[in-house]
Amino acid sequence: MKIAVACDHAGFLLKQAVLEAVVQAGDEVLFLGTDSTEPVDYPDYAEKLGSVIQSGHAERGILLCGSGVGACIAANKIKGIFACVCHDTYSAHQGVEHDDMNVLCIGTRVVGPDLVKEIVATFLAARFIGNDPGQERHARRVEKVRNLEEHWKDKSV
């Protein structure tokens, strides 16, 4: 798989560990920046990553920021992006298996390099099971989420 990786200045601290984990999993990395700890805005990198996935140039993505939350919120504004903050391996695989998550968001001020490698490996190894016999409920639920995205794209409350 081709995996897009992007980070803001806070995420830069674990960038190398994440890139190594992607390569170790046998996947190809498309690194989108940033390249230093100089302050940048996380929405810019979430948008870069989301557009690469939306265009089909990458299958999944990993976003790094201080908490993971801001990048996650920004990424989920992009149609077709299912992003989630995961600071444990269970959420990282379950989010893909049940919810078709395609972007992993990690807070680099929350986890360290050893744990981030495990989380990334788990995320990359997971596959959506909604099309498997007896697991159709997951595909039905994901379709409902996609319908929400479509329904609300041009509306305000």
CB 21 within 8 A of CB 120: yes
Catalytic hit among 7, 65, 84, 105: 65
Locate the DSSP E strands across 73-115: 83-85, 103-107
Nearest to 3 by CA among 26, 34, 30, 35: 30
> What is the bridge-based pairing of β-strands 103-107 and 83-85?
parallel
Q: Which residue in this structure is represented by tokens 């940048």? A: 40
Active site residue 65: yes
Active site residues: 65, 98
